[in-house]
Amino acid sequence: MKHERDFVTDEIIDLEVEGYDKGDFKYKPTTAGEENLWLSDYMKIGKDGKVYQDFSMLNKLKLNNLQSVPYNQVLIKKKINVDKEWKDLNIEERWSLLGKLSGAVFDKILVAVTSFDRGDSSVKKA
C-alpha cells in the first residue's frame, strides 16, 4: 500500500546504537497515540505559569519501550541488586539500571531511539 510506512506496527525493531551490534537493543517504536497519552506526564506548568516539557520524564517513557538490551541477568543483579532479566523488570527497575549507564552510552541509546521515532534512522525489523 502506498502509505503503509506512515503507520507503526507492533513489530519490534533492531535499534542501531553506535558502538553496539545491530540487534543488541530491540525497541518497540513509539506511536503517536502513546506520545499523546504521555503529554500529561511530561508537560508541566512552571511557577511562572508557562508550559514546559520535562525531558527526563519523556526519556523515561520512551526508553521503557526498549524490549531487550545487551545486559544479562547477572549484570543487572550486580548493578541494581534485582535478580531479573530485562524483560521482567518494571519501569522503575529499568530506569534504575539505565540510570547507572555512563552518560555517553545513555546518550547513544537515546539518540538511536529519538532518531528512529523521528524517521531519521534505517533499521530492520527484529
Q: Is the pTM of this model over 0.85?
A: no
Q: Quote the CA–CA distance of 38 and 58 in Å, as a whole number.
A: 8
Q: Quote the CA–CA distance of 112 and 106 in Å, as a whole number.
A: 10
The CA-to-CA distance between both ends of the chain, in Å, stands at 22
For 37-65, b/e burial (b = at least 16 CB within 10 A) is ebeeebeeeeeeeeeeeeeeebbbbbbbb
Of residues 11 and 94, more confidence is placed in 94
- pLDDT tens for 45-66 read 889 999 988 888 888 888 989 9
Domain parsing of the chain, residue ranges: 4-125
Q: Quote the CA–CA distance of 61 and 96 in Å, as a whole number.
A: 13
pLDDT value of position 126: 46
11 — pLDDT class (breaks 50, 70, 90)? confident
pLDDT value of position 117: 81
